[in-house]
């Protein structure tokens, strides 16, 4: 288990349990009541720590190395899934995965950014930073979903679209813009779920939906707290302050009506109980599909455009 | 006393009227280094007469260039930004807005107007780089959205002139969602069969490039404008190599297939009229 800096007190208690068990083993003295007490303290401490997370701590949790990624959820949620590759133009982007799957008898098209779990895989997945062909692959699959009248689920988890030379040559800006445009008028239901990092245009590129949901410990912003700190404070040291100022948590986003819902995570975060997290996500998807499927395409599209059109705060007459 | 007051005011006025377009008596071209008399530069629409370098100009100048007799109806001229998040970095956003409005005499980074181009109706949304780096916040998004409503109502074509450093960070996710908002609204133009022209000028970057700037039925640009999604510094840091000559210029985008054509500012109006005539 990897403990983040603010989780150190919990790690301490786990270590104490280990020690107590060792002593019990050696001395053959029954110490189960001590262990029980320690376990109770852990639960109490967890409730306290996770009950008052700062925005920066949530950013840290969203990037936790053991946090489940897109393909894990797909495997858990779908009784069957076939991964589909390529944008039919340039190549197959490993940072963006997608395919067609079955959720309790309902076939759906799923796309999402994919991160890697170890050093080698992280590089293979380009740290979850798609190139234009990733966005175009996602769009290809979404257009296929439209042709066969299948709903679309997107899983968002990216530190941003890849800022590379080839990415610019192949039109990173155009690729994202095209997705925003096409998703706004896609005829089938779209549910977008932010499962980790929701960084800027790279996240939004698969983020236009009838329902946009955020897991409890994720963030969504126009810029990462680190980059914001370096640009606005001209130093990397203000990331915690930037995280607060950017109002990037699920609670903030919901209060501004920039997202439609928050999905509760198990105590300690999604990685503390990935199976439970997947089960919760599946329930949410089914709930929203049941709401969206009976609506007509025209009704959904009109509502979708109206929802995004309402986003913004201005002073009109001053 | 009144004389003294007027002099003070005169002095402050000259600084307050600091415009985006170059000022002074002489203009030193950053490209060919020629010294050009300012009157000549102005007559040449702020394009260097020696080397065709396009100097950055604002909405005021673009409206002058595009609209017949500089006549137009400005849409939503009073709209200003709201510091909804009470954002404070080195300066409170609220204060930054007030200072910038005072300094630039602009209300935000975009102005929208309806006028005629050689007799053809056109709605133009034009960004002003002088206003917090032409950053896209709620005002930019709302002006585009309402301008599209206006186009739909009156069956008019739309042009957006982009000139932006990207998103307005002080509006955080609200700024991000302007990409979604403007792109979603542009689908209604398509639906209604009304043409949308995107003119990219120096610089067109970040969230603006990743939304309305790249969604034109016609994507056009001024020569040698910097157009891209990621900034050159970020790309350089990522790939740890120098960027090739001419990377992320209009010419580069024309070559890679993302622009329909490049237009010299001096031919902009006639080209627009020629294009608009096709949709009469
Ligand atoms: Zn010159």
Mean per-residue pLDDT, B164-183: 96
Residue B20: per-residue pLDDT = 67
Please give the distance, rounded to the nearest whole angstrom, from the Cα atom of residue B63 to the centre of ligand 1: 23
Angstroms from B4 CA to nearest CA on chain A:
32
Domain boundaries, chain A: 13-52, 59-309
- The size of chain A, in residues, is 318
User: To probe the interface with A, which of B76, B79, B149, B184 has the most A CB atoms within 10 Å?
Assistant: B184
Residue B254 has pLDDT above 80, yes or no: yes
- Which residues in chain A have Cβ-Cβ distances shorter than 8 Å to B228? 168, 173
What CATH number has the domain spanning A59-309? 3.90.226.10
Residue B11: per-residue pLDDT = 36
Q: Distances from the Cα of B215 to the Cαs of B183, B195, B200, in angstroms?
A: 8, 11, 11
The fraction of chain A above a pLDDT of 90, given in percent, is 95
- Say yes or no: A298 contacts chain B, CB-CB below 8 A: no
Predicted confidence band of residue B235 (pLDDT cuts 50, 70, 90): very high
Residue A318: per-residue pLDDT = 52
Residue A317: per-residue pLDDT = 63
Mean per-residue pLDDT, B158-183: 97
Where are the alpha helices (H) located in B113-226, listed in sequence order? 138-154, 172-192, 206-209
Under DSSP, the state recorded for B134 is G
Q: Which of residues 243-262 of A touch B (CB under 8 A)?
A: 245-248, 252-253, 256, 258
pLDDT in tens, A34-77: 999 999 999 999 999 999 999 999 999 999 999 999 999 999 99
B57-277 CATH pick, 3.60.21.10, 3.90.1170.50, 3.90.226.10, 3.40.50.1820: 3.90.226.10
What does the mean pLDDT of chain A come to? 96
- Which residues in chain A have Cβ-Cβ distances shorter than 8 Å to B246? none
Residue with more model confidence, B21 or B226:
B226
Q: Which residues contact A57 (CB under 8 A, 6 or more apart)?
A: A4, A6
Residue B15 has pLDDT above 90, yes or no: no
Angstroms from B176 CA to nearest CA on chain A:
5
The fraction of chain B above a pLDDT of 90, given in percent, is 88
Residue with more model confidence, B2 or A25:
A25
User: To probe the interface with A, which of B171, B182, B183 has the most A CB atoms within 10 Å?
Assistant: B183
What does the mean pLDDT of chain B come to? 92
Nearest to B142 among A176, A220, A314 (CB): A314
Beta bridge pairs of residue A107:
A102
Predicted confidence band of residue B8 (pLDDT cuts 50, 70, 90): very low
Mean per-residue pLDDT, B146-172: 97
Nearest to B183 among A164, A180, A248 (CB): A180
Residue B266 has pLDDT above 70, yes or no: yes
Mean per-residue pLDDT, B193-212: 98
Q: Which residues contact B153 (CB under 8 A, 6 or more apart)?
A: none
Residue B19: per-residue pLDDT = 55
pLDDT in tens, A198-249: 999 999 999 999 999 999 999 999 999 999 999 989 999 999 999 999 999 9
Predicted confidence band of residue B279 (pLDDT cuts 50, 70, 90): very high
Residue B23: per-residue pLDDT = 76
User: What's the complex ipTM?
Assistant: 0.95
Residue B9: per-residue pLDDT = 37
Residue A27 has pLDDT above 80, yes or no: yes
The three-state secondary structure class of A81 is strand
pLDDT in tens, A132-190: 999 999 999 999 999 999 999 999 999 999 999 999 999 999 999 999 999 999 999 99
pLDDT in tens, A71-128: 999 999 999 999 999 999 999 999 999 999 999 999 999 999 999 999 999 999 999 9
Residue B90: per-residue pLDDT = 87
- The model carries a pTM of 0.94
Q: Which residues contact A271 (CB under 8 A, 6 or more apart)?
A: A64, A66, A67, A68
Residue B5 has pLDDT above 90, yes or no: no
Where are the alpha helices (H) located in B219-262, listed in sequence order? 232-239, 250-256
Residue B3: per-residue pLDDT = 37
Please give the distance, rounded to the nearest whole angstrom, from the Cα atom of residue B250 to the centre of ligand 1: 17
- Say yes or no: A212 contacts chain B, CB-CB below 8 A: no
Peptide bond into B203 cis (omega under 30): yes
Mean per-residue pLDDT, B74-100: 95
Domain boundaries, chain B: 57-277
Angstroms from A105 CA to nearest CA on chain B:
32
Mean per-residue pLDDT, B2-21: 42
Contact status, residue A135 vs residue A179, Cβ threshold 8 Å: yes
- Say yes or no: A224 contacts chain B, CB-CB below 8 A: no
Please give the distance, rounded to the nearest whole angstrom, from the Cα atom of residue B41 to the centre of ligand 1: 10
Residue found by looking up tokens 């908002």 in the block:
B181
Mean per-residue pLDDT, B146-158: 98
């Amino acid at each position: 288990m990897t403990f983040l800096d603010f989780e150190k007190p919990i790690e301490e208690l786990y270590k104490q349990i280990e020690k107590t068990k060792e002593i019990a083993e050696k001395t053959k003295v029954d110490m189960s009541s001590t262990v029980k007490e320690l376990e109770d303290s852990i639960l109490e401490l967890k409730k306290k720590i996770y009950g008052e997370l700062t925005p920066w701590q949530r950013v840290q949790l969203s990037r936790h190395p053991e946090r489940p990624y897109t393909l894990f959820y797909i495997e858990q949620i779908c009784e069957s899934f076939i991964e589909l590759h390529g944008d039919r133009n340039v190549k197959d982007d490993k940072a963006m995965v997608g395919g067609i799957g079955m959720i309790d008898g309902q076939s759906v098209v799923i796309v999402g950014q994919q991160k890697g779990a170890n050093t080698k895989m992280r590089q293979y997945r380009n740290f979850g930073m798609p190139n234009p062909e990733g966005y175009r692959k996602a769009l290809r699959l979404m257009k296929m979903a439209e042709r066969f009248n299948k709903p679309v689920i997107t899983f968002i988890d990216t530190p941003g679209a890849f800022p590379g030379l080839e990415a610019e040559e192949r039109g990173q800006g155009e690729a994202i813009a095209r997705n925003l445009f096409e998703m706004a008028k896609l005829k089938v239901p779209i549910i977008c779920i932010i499962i980790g990092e929701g960084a800027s245009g790279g996240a939004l590129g698969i983020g236009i939906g009838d329902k946009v949901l955020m897991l409890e410990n994720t963030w969504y912003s126009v810029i990462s707290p680190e980059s914001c700190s370096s640009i606005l404070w001209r130093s990397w040291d203000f990331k915690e302050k930037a995280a607060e100022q950017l109002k990037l948590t699920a609670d903030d986003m919901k209060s501004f009506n920039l997202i439609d819902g928050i999905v509760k995570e198990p105590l300690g975060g999604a990685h503390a109980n990935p199976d439970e997290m997947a089960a919760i996500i599946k329930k949410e998807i089914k709930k929203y599909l049941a709401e969206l499927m009976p609506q007509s395409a025209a009704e959904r599209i009109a509502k979708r455009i109206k929802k995004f059109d309402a986003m913004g705060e201005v002073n009109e007459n001053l | 006393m009144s004389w003294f007051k007027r002099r003070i005011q005169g002095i402050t006025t000259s600084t307050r009227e600091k415009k985006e377009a170059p000022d002074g008596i002489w203009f030193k071209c950053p490209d060919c280094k020629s010294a050009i008399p300012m009157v000549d530069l102005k007559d040449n629409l702020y394009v260097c007469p020696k080397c065709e370098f396009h100097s950055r100009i604002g909405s005021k100048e673009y409206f002058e260039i595009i609209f017949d007799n500089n006549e137009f109806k400005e849409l939503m001229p009073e709209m200003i930004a709201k510091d909804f998040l009470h954002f404070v970095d080195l300066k409170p956003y609220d204060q930054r807005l007030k200072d910038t409005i005072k300094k630039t005499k602009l209300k935000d980074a975009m102005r929208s107007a309806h006028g005629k181009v050689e007799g053809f109706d056109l709605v133009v949304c034009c960004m002003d780089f002088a206003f917090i780096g032409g950053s896209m916040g709620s005002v930019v998004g709302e002006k585009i959205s309402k301008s599209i409503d206006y186009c739909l109502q009156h069956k008019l074509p739309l042009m957006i002139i982009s000139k932006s450093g990207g998103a307005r960070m002080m509006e955080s996710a609200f700024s991000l969602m302007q990409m979604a908002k403007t792109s979603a609204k542009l689908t209604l133009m398509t639906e209604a069969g009304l043409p949308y022209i995107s003119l990219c000028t120096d610089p067109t970057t970040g969230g603006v490039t990743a939304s309305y700037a790249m969604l034109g039925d016609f994507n056009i640009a001024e020569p040698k404008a910097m157009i891209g999604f990621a900034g050159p510094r970020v790309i350089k840091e990522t790939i740890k190599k120098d960027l090739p000559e001419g990377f992320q210029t209009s010419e580069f985008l024309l070559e890679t297939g993302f622009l329909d054509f490049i237009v010299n500012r001096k031919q902009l109006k006639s080209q627009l009229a020629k294009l608009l005539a096709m949709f009469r």
